[in-house]
Structure 1
Amino acid sequence: MSDALDVLDQVGKWKASGKGVAIATVITTWGSSPRPIGSQLGVDDTGAMVGSVSGGCIEGAVVQEALAAIKDGKPRMLDFGVTDEQAWDVGLACGGKVQVFVEKVN
């Protein structure tokens, strides 16, 4: 729970200082997923981050979408996944899916 509180605390500080802020939340997982449902990532308008929704290339894509959400104010539903066969081809044990909801904090 402290991770979630850390994210919300930092997001609040960024917002209070006048920065544009977005928050991303894992809302669905299936199969292999590095972070559980409810995990959050806060992003400010400079690209600073707190928390985590995944890792690797997914995290980078979520940050880019968060920056876009800060600019246009539109929420996003992001779907990331890999089949078991695709996972095996790249040397992973199993596939998985994660859905992340990204929204600007007003």
Structure 2
Amino acid sequence: MNDNEDILATAGAWAAAGEQVAIATVVETWGSSPRPAGSQLAVTMSGRMAGSVSGGCIEGAVADAAKDAMRSGTPKLLDFGISDETAWQVGLSCGGKLTVFVEPLA
């Protein structure tokens, strides 16, 4: 079983226990990105998280978007672009871009 299957299994267990759950998946990267495309983060409405889409530097923003997606039932496509000049302000050591798809589980 790979890491993403572990995340999906965890998300499934949370959903089976009655939690609202969303999955965030890195769908594209460019430049400096701490996690490759395919990396996943599971988020519950109560704030539980498993996995990672960035090594920690944008997880909070992704978790907030996941909660919005759970409330609305609408998936979201998030773009994070960081220039070299502002990278340290958000916790990235170098510039880069990544796109994350966030979808609530039914």
- Does TM, scored on the shorter chain, surpass 0.5? yes
Identity of aligned residues (%): 60
Name 2:86's counterpart in structure 1: 86
Name the residue aligned to 1:74: 74
Change (3 A) 1:88 1:3: closer
Q: TM-score, normalised by structure 1?
A: 0.89
Partner of 1:49: 49
**How far is the alpha carbon of 1:56 from its aligned partner?**
3.4
By how many angstroms is 1:83 displaced? 1.7
SS at match of 1:84: coil
Match of 2:11, SS state, is: helix
Q: Which runs of 5+ in 1 are unaligned?
A: none
Q: CA distance change for structure 1 residues 94 and 73 in 2, over 3 Å: closer, same or farther?
A: same
CA change 1:83–1:22 in 2 (3 A) is same
Query: Counterpart amino acid of 2:2?
Result: S
Cα root mean square deviation, aligned:
2.2
Aligned residue pair count:
106
* C-alpha distance in structure 1 between counterparts of 2:77 and 2:40, whole Å: 14
Q: Which residue of 2 aligns with 1:98?
A: 98
The equivalent of 2:2 in structure 1 is 2
Which deviations, in whole Å up to 9, do the C-alpha atoms of 1:60-102 show, x marking residues without a partner? 0000010111111011111111123434899x66310010000
Which AA in structure 1 matches 2:82?
Answer: V
- Which has a greater percent of helix? 1
Q: Who is 2:25 aligned against?
A: 25
Name structure 2 gaps, 5 residues minimum. none
Q: For residues 64 and 10 of structure 2, what CA distance do their matches in structure 1 show?
A: 19
Q: Distance in 2 between matches of 1:64 and 1:85?
A: 25
- Cα displacement (A) at 1:17: 1.1
Counterpart-to-counterpart distance in 2, 1:89 and 1:105: 32
